[in-house]
Structures are given as C-alpha cells and as structure tokens.
Chains A and B, each alone.
Chain A
Amino acid sequence: MDGNYLGIDVGSVSTNLVIINGEGRITAKLYRRTSGRPIQSMLEGMREIAEECGCPAIAGVGVTGSGRELAGVIVGADIIKNEITTHAVAAQSIVPGVRTILEIGGQDSKIIILKNGVVYDFAMNTVCAAGTGSFLDRQAARLGVPIEEFGEMALRSLSPVRIAGRCAVFAESDMIHKQQSGHSNEDIVNGLCEALVRNYLNNLAKGKEIREPVVFQGGVAANKGIAAAFEKALGMKVMIPEEHAVMGAFGAALYARQKIMNESSPKTKFNGFSVMKRDYGTKSFECNGCAGMCEIVELMMDGIVQARWGDRCGKWSSSVHYGHRTIS
C-alpha cells in the first residue's frame, strides 16, 4: 500500500519527526530540541518537515514519547504508543534479529531484551538520571566542551580516570575534584563516559543477559565516547543505526502504518499539516469533584477546548471526545 506515514516523538529533550513510505523506509527525518515547549517545538517541526518534502499526503500518524498524549490530541494521531515499544519495533526493522537494545535519551534510559523477535524483557531507569543526555549536556557545559565534540574528545584520552558514577550528583562532584587535581579534560570526559556506562549496566542491565546483536540508540548514541565505553565494558560490537536519534519517531510511524494497513477501510485521524497554523494553549486545574483531586489538563485550540485528560473517573476526559482510547 502506498502513502506516507508520519511518526512524532515528543521527548523531554528532543522532538523528532519521521516520514516513512509505504514500504517502511524513512524518507524524511528531523531532530530538534524540545526546549521545554513541547507544543511549539512539535508544530515548528511539522512546519520544517512539511517544507522539506512539500506537505506530502499522510495516510497515518503515530506519536510516542513523554509528550505523546498532548501530541496525539493536537495532530490527531491514529495510534499513541509508549516509547519502549516504539524503540523496539524501530530497532527490529533496521537490524532484524537484534537481541539487545541499549537506548539512552534525554532524561531516561532503557534496556530492551528481545527473544525470537519479540520483546522479552525491559527496564527503564527509575530513580537516577545519571548517564542520560541531559546530564551529559550539563557536564559538557561545565567543561566548556560543545556536546557534539564530547565523544571525539573522550576517544583522545590517553590514561583513563575513574569517576564515581553511582549518582549524578556525586559523579559531578567527583568530576570537579578530578578537574581540580589536574587531570586533562580528555581523560575526565572519557572517565565520565565509562562511569555512565557502568551506572547503566549496574542499574538497568543487572540480571539481564546481554546478547549480540546489540543496538545502541537514542540521542546519546551520537556520543562516540559512550559507544566505545559500551563496547569495552561488554566486550561486544555495538551497532549504532544511522537514524539512532529518531528511532522512537520511526517506530511510531511503523505502528501507524501497521494499524492503517490492517484496517478494512483505512482512514487517518490526522488533522493535517494546517495544525501548525493554529494557536494552542494548555491550562491545568485541580478537580474537586471527589476526594481524588486529580490534576486535569485542558488543551485549547484557538481558544476552544479540544481535550482534557488527567482524571481517573472520566468526568472531564469524556466530556470532550477525541476518538482514541488510552491507558489513562
């Protein structure tokens, strides 16, 4: 079946968009910073990708990432999927037979173990953000190194420095200490990469059997230092797909494609690229209807309420219908 499918991943740090064709190949991709403004960032992204490929006809839309609910309502998503599932399906499409997926994003990291082509086990960081993109961003800024050069710099290290990686806060103070005792930036950066990998393997991968092929993806996969530290710690080859930064969006697009293709009379809920011209705003309030006191979020388009969510009883979310069923 022909047609283009749009995948959108609204994450904490980056907002990514991918367009795939009917065969599931990526025809356009975009990676941009969320900068704490998920709606704006997504709409900007849609404008950019539409300009790049001339507003193609979209047969289906999938959204994922921590901002998936919000994004799903705005664009009119056919499917809203969590980021663990979309990352797994994307990696499987690029590396068939993949057994282990290491994923490090802006604020969370995951490990996904696959067996016989299905997700067998997974873990996601619960308490500590050490080793995720935003932590690396901060440390790069502290050292005055552009984040893009961080990985290259680690590879130039001559003698490794061991940095405490148990906790982001302690890693930072240990790093400052190492800096003050005169270690070179290259060695410190490399030490940091190794500490983060150690933290990741100890926290997330504990008790899990890591088997090849191993795929490393997420925004942090661009960091060659971390990739090298993984290879060293695991003693395995770690593959980094070219699309590593937009795998979530790619997976969401693949899900949208599958969903539409399985329908007997496929029709997308996509609101069209024109949504980027609209004015969106959100408002939140506490419901006092019962003792539950849920935090309700209200999404408005051009001043008209489009959707509400956050309630447990359905009082608010069912008062506006936006045609999809989610977990909340």
Chain B
Amino acid sequence: MKITFPHLGNTYICVKSILDDLGIEYVIPPFNNKKALELGARYAPEMMCLPLKINIGNYLQAYEMGADTILMAGGCGPCRFGYYSQLQRAILQDAGYDMEIITLEATRGVGDLIERIRRVIPRNAAMLSLPPILRRAVKIAKSTDEIEMLSFRTRAREKEPGSTDRVYKGFRQNALAVKGTKNMLRLIKDTESELNEIELDPGAYPLKVGIVGEIYTGIEHFASFEIQERLGRLGVEVDRKVTVSNWIIEHMIKKSLHLPRDMKFAEAARPWLGAMIGGHAQETVGNAVLYAQKGYDGVIQIFPFSCMPEIVAESLLPAVENEMGIPVLSLIIDEMTGEAGYMTRVEAFIDMLEQRREREGYEGGWQLSWN
C-alpha cells in the first residue's frame, strides 16, 4: 500500500511528518500545477468546483509515482466538499485508475473513523506513540500557518526584494526532505528565525488587505495565482483568518469534543448573515467586518466559480462595504480564468486603496501609525 493525499497549501508538511513517524509508505504529488489542473479538468464534471479538479490532478500525478491509496478529508454538510471523496472515487473508477480512497470522516461515529485510520497504520506500529505524534502534528499545522503569516508581514516590508520568497520557498522545498514530526518542528523553528532575520525597511508603511473567501482558493497558492505573495511583493501586507490549523483546531477538534469555539466572526457577521449556510460564507462576511473594524485598507474575497456559499457571501459584501466603509474586491477562479485580467483588477484595486488612504489621511488629518 502506497499512500498519497491531495495538496492544500502547507498541509503536506503536517501529513507527511505523521506518516513518517508511523513508518507508512507514501508519495507526495508534485506541488499544484497546470498539468494537475488540466488532468483534473479532463476527468471531472465541468460544473464541479476547482478544488475537486486539482485534487483529481494530484491523485493522477501521484498514481504515476506509484500511489494506490488516497487519504482524503470528508465530512458532512459544509458544502459540496462533503461528497468530494465519493465523487472522486467514481471519477477515478470511470477513468480506469485502480486507487482506493480512504475518507477521514466521523459521519458514522468515531469508532468508524478509527477503523478507517487503522487500515492505514501498519500492524507493528506502536499505538501508544500515536497521541504524542498527533499532538506534535497539531503544533506543526499551527506553526506552519504562523510562519506563513510571518512571511506576509516580512514580504511587505523587506529591504531587499525577494528575501522572504527565498526563505519561504526554501522552507517548502526542504520540508519535502525532512522526516518525522520532531525534525519538522526543528525546521519550522529554524525557518522562523530566518524570517525574523530578514532586514526590514523601518519606513515601510504597507497597505493592509484581508483575504477572505473559500478555504482552498485562499490557502492554495496555485489556485489564487499566488495572490498573497504578489500582493506582498507590491508592498501590501495580507492577512487571512481561514487556515488549515484553524480548521483542524476549531472545526475538527473543538467541534467533536464540544469545546467552546472562537465565534467572533459569527458575531460580526450577524447583522448581514445570522446563520451558518455552508462552506465558509459566514466566516467570509464576518471576517470582512472584523477587518473593517481593525482598520484594514481593503478586503479581497477569493472563491472558485460556482461555489454556492461564497456566492451568497459575495452578494452580501457590497452591503458590508457600504456600511463598514471598507473596499471589497471579489475574485472568482476556475480553470478558464485569465490571469492578465485578474491581475489588472488586483493592481487597480491596490491603486485605489493607496489613493483612498492618501486622501483620508489628508482630509481626516489622522496620524500615521507606523506599526
């Protein structure tokens, strides 16, 4: 049995270290790329959303590398993602690829989930070692997200353009070679200090933009045409609340253990969207409001074409925009999206934020905060 799993931002770092520790054989598909998207778009139904298509591309590229079993997250209810693994199983079968998908979900109870996990874990693996491994894995998920947020900060302020990219891309590459959760935590720590050592421009006064929207297109660099990195290179500091670790901690751990969750976004979204309607729609609206309250210059919403929850959020955002006075740009992505037109909008949006900030600073007479 050779395991593989789809890409989602830095998730591979966390998953691979667990698999290493347990001595499970696996292959990681190449980072998301055009070829993966082309393959996926060829086999997936046209009207399915972009993440599913890229997933399929990941599987097929991993198949070429010898993978036969896929680990895929599942769940019940959030959006079409809930039936991704069922659909993907059928797609692979129709296309004639003999691959098994193990869906990690507890829709039939925790016992069933454990049963599924045990199918992957070799018999001789010490089950007692599992809890500390998982504890470290959660820490990895959390700290990789923190590193990414740190890179957003340094990229917008670095003195020498490209220093952050060098460290961060190097980290993603090195993580492929590092084995096990302990070593991974060490690599993350080293990377963090490298990022902290990047010389920053003390006079930098970056625009601040919050990224909201569907989770996959927000997190996965390839799916958003690297918008966060590009904004950083333009000297814009971005922030994103929806992350992998947030998802694991808030949605998987706290929800299943019935612990109190961080619901600030739901509170903030209430005047516009008082209920959870699937996907991350409530997070999108709520976080846009929170960004406005924190004095961000703008919000960019990203989502795949045909994503229902985000379409609802998109139609609510103009009201948030007007009432909270924060500019919002919505970007919709699928395999047909033209990069040039997309970047023209992003550029124009940033120009607009800059002009607005200058004008408000001049008219409102407020102080520069230099934070």
Interface residues, chain A, with chain B CB atoms under 8 Å away: 66, 81-85, 108, 116-122, 124, 126, 207, 290-293, 312-314, 318, 325, 327-328
Whether A207 and B318, one on each chain, are in contact in the complex, defined by CB atoms closer than 8 angstroms, is yes
- Residue interface mask B344-367, A partner, CB < 8 A = 1: 111111011001101100010000
In contact, A291 and B31 (Cβ under 8 angstroms): yes
Q: Given that A66-B340, A117-B359 are known contacts, is A327 also in contact with B31, CB under 8 Å in the complex?
A: no
Chain A neighbourhood of B347, CB < 8 A = 81-82, 84-85, 327
A83 and B344 in contact (CB under 8 A), knowing A121-B327, A292-B31, A314-B165?
A: yes
Contact A122-B348, Cβ < 8 Å, known A312-B226, A328-B343: yes
Assess whether B348 is in contact with A84, with CB atoms less than 8 Å apart: yes
B33 contact set on A, CB distance < 8 A? 291-293
CB distance from A252 to the nearest CB of B (A): 13
Q: Which residues of A contact B34 (CB under 8 A)?
A: 292-293
Q: Enumerate chain B residues within 8 angstroms of A290, measured Cβ to Cβ.
A: 31
**Closest CB of chain A to B81's CB: distance in Å?**
24
Contacts A85-B347, A327-B234: A293 and B35 contacting too (C-beta < 8 A)?
yes
Q: B residues within 8 Å of A by Cβ?
A: 30-36, 161-162, 165, 169, 222, 226, 230, 233-234, 318, 321, 327, 332, 340-341, 343-349, 351-352, 355-356, 358-359, 363
Q: Is the CB of B345 within 8 A of A84?
A: yes
Name the CB-closest residue of A to B29.
A291
User: Which residues of the partner chain B approach A66 to less than 8 Å between Cβ atoms?
Assistant: 340, 344
Q: Do most interface residues of chain B lie in helix, strand or loop, or is the interface mixed?
A: helix
Q: Report the number of A-B residue pairs with Cβ-Cβ less than 8 Å.
A: 77
List residues of chain B with CB within 8 A of the CB of A121.
321, 327
In whole angstroms, how far apart are the Cα atoms of A313 and B222 in the complex? 12
Chain B residue numbers with a CB within 8 Å of A292 are 31, 33-34, 222
The 4 closest A-B pairs by CB, nearest first: A84-B348, A291-B30, A291-B33, A82-B347
| Bound: A108/B31 CA distance, A | 33
B235 to chain A, nearest CB (A): 9
Q: Is the CB of A118 within 8 A of B344?
A: no
Known: A122-B348, A327-B234. A291 touches B332 (CB 8 A): no
Q: Are A327 and B32 in contact (CB under 8 A)?
A: no
Contact A327 B341 (CB under 8 A): no
Instruction: Return the chain B residue nearest A312 by Cβ.
Output: B226
Q: Which of B233, B344, B351 contacts A124 (CB 8 A)?
A: B344
**Contact status A118-B356, CB under 8 Å:** yes
The answer to whether A122 touches B352, judged by C-beta atoms less than 8 angstroms apart, is yes
Apart from A120-B327, A122-B349, list 20 A-B contacts with CB within 8 A.
A66-B344, A81-B347, A82-B347, A84-B347, A85-B347, A118-B355, A119-B348, A119-B351, A119-B355, A119-B356, A120-B352, A124-B341, A124-B344, A126-B332, A291-B30, A291-B32, A292-B34, A325-B233, A327-B343, A327-B346
B230 touches A82 (CB 8 A): no
Contacting A85 at CB < 8 Å: which of B343, B351, B359? B351
Contact indicator B363/A126 (Cβ below 8 Å): no
Report chain B residues within 8 Å CB of A108. Answer: 341
CA distance A82 to B354 in the complex (A): 14
Residues of A within 8 A of B363 (CB): 116
User: Closest residue of chain B to A117, judged by CB?
Assistant: B359
Closest B residue to A64 by beta carbon equals B344
- Smallest distance from the beta carbon of A251 to chain B beta carbons, Å? 11
A126 and B234 contact, CB distance less than 8 A? no
Residues from chain B with Cβ under 8 Å of A85 in the complex: 347-348, 351-352
Q: State the CA gap A122–B321 with chains docked (Å).
A: 13
A–B Cβ pairs within 8 angstroms, 21 of them: A81-B347, A81-B351, A84-B347, A117-B359, A118-B358, A119-B348, A120-B352, A121-B321, A122-B352, A124-B344, A126-B341, A291-B35, A291-B36, A292-B33, A293-B34, A313-B165, A325-B161, A327-B234, A327-B343, A327-B346, A328-B343
